[in-house]
Amino acid sequence: MPVDVAPSPAPTRESKVVSLEDAAALIGDGSSLALGGIHLHNGPMALIRALVRGERKDLTLIPNVSVGMPAELLIAAGAVKRIYASYVGLEHHGLAPAFRRAGQEGTIEIHDIDEPGSVYAMRAAAASLPFMPFPPGHKAVDVTRLNPDDYKVTTDPFTGEDVVVIRPLMADFGLIHVPQVDQFGNVQLEGAPVQDVIIAKSAKHVIATAEKIVPVEVTRRAPERTQIAGFFVDTVVHAPFGAHPTSSHGRYYGDEGHVEIYKALGPDRYIEEWVKACPTEAEWADKVGGARIVSLIEGMANNVL
Amino acid sequence: MSSDVSRAEYMVGALSTGLRDGEWGACGAYSEIPMGAFMLARAFHAPNLWWMSGGGGAINPACTLVESSSDVRTWDGAEATFTIEDIVDYEFGGWQRRPNVGLFGGIQVDRRGNVNMVGIGEYPNLTLRGPGTVGLAFASHFHRSMIYLHDHNPRVLCEKVDYVSGPGHGDDRRSDHAGGPSRVVTPQAVFEFSGDGYATLASITPGYGEAEVREHTGFEFESVDGLGETPPPSPEELEYLRTVIDPEGRLAHVSTGDWR
């Protein structure tokens, strides 16, 4: 896909833009991945599909607090060894079948965490903290007992009371999908940042796939709108419609009907009949269909945002 | 009028009457019913109620009901936005600023109001792998909470949850300021918690009887004196609910188990 990037005023500065395939090739078997977005929104799906097509194995997932299709698809493809799970599900579409099956059959290692634990583990990684403590009372939440690898109880040195702490979780790669980024990685969002900023600050290598890549001059017109400084973004990919079937806030709605297709086919058939049947994202868009794509874009365009 | 009130509308009404003016509240995902309750309460009896729409990042949304509380439509006309990191600060520390209330559901709820989302069975070899604990971890930090369920059966409403995601009553490990659940709202009934922290049947959705609710509930409970039917939203509230909050009629399609 051609990327229209205007000449930079600093010609020696390096563009971070690469192809989707080249970005996926950075991610080797056994890597750990933080996954941005939330539920059926802003998922880095084009990159996830590229990893499934490339038959990646033994990945560790450190997803956002409420992950849906991005984690579900990798689990469905047998690409996952371990997941730090605050919530894996399909929200109003129900339980996530591949995650449920893997959890019940013990084919992946699930580290149960909770929402504050997901954030605190990334916050600790981002700020180079040895651990993050929780407020008093957190021992009442059973994940702190069920997951002794990641939660510990220690002594608050100020009060002498017990305090629950969680370890830092630093992913090898942070994957986020955004509406707009420039060639140097400055990200301007058009909807919920959810957990994307702390993912960008905590992962070792951040890949931003984007609906649109703009020249840095566009970023400069409104720097206050840059929520993720390009300093934290290592690789930029032009991936239009790359969040599908999740929404791209500001660009198109989530494809609720597609999630029902996934549920009806089941994980195995969906991987074969959809992901592997479409070797490129252009073929993916063809299979989804122009009318469907336009309806998702029109829905968002009619929004007041 | 009440004969055509859907069970989801009864649930919205029962949650709405439990919300208080001046509080701030939060709900989780798949939240048409609690979102409707926040909107209805603000319009009728709690104009100074503030609420956060799930993980999507909108405070006091002005949209009509949507299926996902993270839908970007919740940003339309909202008064403020927030990130997941903000949620942790608000829901761990926000109780210090003004009274707060959390609305959430789960795959199991017991008579003490403990809520489970981890799963059912012997950990880690669960027979039902649940989605995970997510924001229920904040339950032990809200001044109080209300629980809503899309199903009412003995597997969901059980004697004791297999795992505690959201802590209920009678647990001395909970935070001092956390009052625990005040109400459980199901398609069939409303439970409230007695002074000693046990679920007590407070009212029944029209169409069900007390014996039937007992049969559908996996724990023993007492009923309030003069047990009656859950009142439907008032005609004015229903009109507002159907024309302003939910003009697309989404509540009519929300799963509420078997209906006769």
* Residues A70-109: tens digit of each pLDDT: 999 999 999 999 999 999 999 999 999 999 999 999 999 9
For residue B191, the cross-strand partners are: B184, B201
Residue A196 falls in which region: left (phi positive, over 0), alpha (psi -120 to 50) or beta: alpha
B259: contact with A, CB 8 A cutoff? no
- Contacts for A90 with CB less than 8 Å, ≥ 6 apart: A40, A68, A69, A72, A96, A259, A263
CB B55 within 8 A of CB B87: yes
Alpha carbons A53 and B202: distance in angstroms, whole number: 55
Q: Does the interface ipTM go beyond 0.90?
A: yes
CB contact under 8 A, A91 and B68: yes
Q: Count how many residues are written for chain B.
A: 260
Q: Looking at residues B151-176, what average pLDDT do you find? A: 87
Phi, psi of B204 (to 5 degrees): -125, 135
Residue B178: the pLDDT is 81
Q: Can you tell me the distance from the alpha carbon of B140 to that of B161, in angstroms, rounded to the nearest whole number?
A: 16
Verify whether the Cβ–Cβ distance B124 to A110 is below 8 Å. Answer: yes
Dist CA A250 CA A231 (whole Å): 24
Confirm or reject contact between B64 and chain A (CB < 8 A): no
* Mean pLDDT for chain A overall: 95
Chosen from B96, B100, B134, B253 to mutate, greatest number of chain A CBs within 10 A: B134
B56 contacts A66? CB cut-off 8 A: no
pTM: 0.94
Inform me whether the pLDDT recorded for B259 exceeds 60.
Answer: no
pLDDT reading at A10 higher than 60: no
CA dihedral A77, A82, A87, A90 (to 10 degrees): 0
State how far the alpha carbon of B141 is from the alpha carbons of A145, B70, B118, B164, in Å: 18, 22, 19, 14
Q: Given an 8 Å threshold on Cβ–Cβ distance, is B129 in contact with A115?
A: no
- Asked if residues B168 and B182 have their Cβ atoms less than 8 Å apart, the reply is no
Only one residue has tokens 């679920």, namely B199
pLDDT of amino acid B3? 64
> For the residues of B150-171, what is the DSSP string, one character each?
S--STTTEESS-SS-SB--SS-
d(C-alpha B65, C-alpha A233), whole Å:
36
Contact at CB, A194 and B77, closer than 8 angstroms: no
Q: Residue B245: phi, psi to the nearest 5?
A: -80, -45
- Over range A258-277, report the average pLDDT: 98
Region B187-206: mean pLDDT is 95
pLDDT exceeds 80 at position A9: no
Nearest-by-Cβ selection for B92 from A86, A116, A146: A116
Cα–Cα distance, A190 to A187 (Å, whole number): 10
pLDDT of residue A6: 67
Q: What is the pLDDT of residues B51-76, one digit of tens each?
A: 999 888 999 999 999 988 888 899 98
Return the pLDDT at A301.
75
> What would the mean pLDDT of A7-14 be, rounded to a whole number?
72
pLDDT score of B260: 34
**In chain A, what are the domains?**
17-113+170-301 (3.40.1080.10), 135-167 (no CATH)
Chain A contacts in chain B segment 41-60 (CB below 8 A)? 55-58
Residue B186 has pLDDT above 90, yes or no: yes
Q: For residues B177 and A32, what is the distance between their CA atoms, to the nearest angstrom?
A: 38
- Identify all chain A residues contacting B173, using CB atoms and an 8 Å cutoff: 137, 139-140
Task: List pLDDT tens digits, range B118-153.
Answer: 999 999 999 999 999 999 999 988 999 999 999 999
The Cα of B128 is separated from the nearest Cα of chain A by a number of Å equal to 7
Q: What Rg, from alpha-carbon coordinates, does chain A have?
A: 19
Q: ω into residue B124 within 30 of 0, thus cis?
A: yes
Predicted confidence (pLDDT) at residue A50 exceeds the cutoff of 70: yes
CA closest to B169 among chain A residues? A140
Give the torsion through C-alpha atoms of B149, B151, B156, B157, to 10 deg: 70
**For the purposes of burial, counting CB atoms within 10 Å of the CB of A184, is it exposed (0-12), middle (13-18) or buried (19 or more)?**
buried
* Separation between Cα atoms, residue A166 and residue A153, nearest integer Å: 9
CB A24 within 8 A of CB A48: no
Residues B94-122 as b/e (b if ≥16 CB within 10 A, e otherwise) read bbeeebbbbbbbbbbbbbbbbbbbbbbee
Contact A142 B173 (CB under 8 A): no
pLDDT at residue A7, as a whole number: 63
- Over residues B178-186, mean pLDDT: 93
Q: How far apart are CA A229 and CA A63, in angstroms?
A: 21
CATH number for B2-252 (one of 3.60.20.30, 1.10.760.10, 1.10.8.640, 3.40.1080.10): it is: 3.40.1080.10
- Strands B108-110 and B115-116, sheet pairing: antiparallel
Contact assignment for A89 to B132 by CB distance below 8 Å: yes
Provide the pLDDT confidence category of residue B172 given band limits of 50, 70 and 90: low
Euclidean distance between CA atoms B75 and B52, whole angstroms: 11
As a whole number, mean pLDDT of residues A130-136 equals 96
pLDDT digits (tens, 9 = 90+) for A143-161: 999 999 999 999 999 999 9
pLDDT tier at B176, thresholds 50, 70, 90 = confident
The pLDDT of residue A303? 63
pLDDT of residue A305: 44
The per-residue DSSP string of chain A comes to -----PPPSSTTSPP-EE-HHHHHHTS-TT-EEEE-SBBTBS--HHHHHHHHHTT--SEEEEE-TTB-HHHHHHHHTT-EEEEEES-BB-GGG-B-HHHHHHHHHT-SEEEE-BHHHHHHHHHHHHHT-S-EEPPTTGGGSTHHHH-TTTEEEEE-TTT--EEEEE-----SEEEEEEEEEETT--EE-SS--TTHHHHHHHSSEEEEEEEEEE-HHHHHH-GGGEEE-GGG--EEEE-TTTTTTSBBTTTB---HHHHHHHHHH-HHHHIIIIITT-SSHHHHHHHH-HHHHHHHHHHHHTS--
pLDDT confidence tier of residue B185, bands split at 50, 70 and 90: very high
Structure tokens at A30: 């056994």
Mean residue pLDDT across chain B = 92
* Overall average pLDDT of the A278-285 stretch: 98
Chain B contact set for A110 (CB, 8 A):
124, 129
* Cβ atoms of B36 and B62 closer than 8 Å: no
pLDDT at residue A145, as a whole number: 96
Q: A with B: how many residue pairs have Cβ under 8 Å apart? A: 190
For residues A166 and A138, give the distance between their C-alpha atoms in angstroms, rounded to a whole number: 11
User: Smallest Cβ distance to A66: which of B67, B130, B134?
Assistant: B134
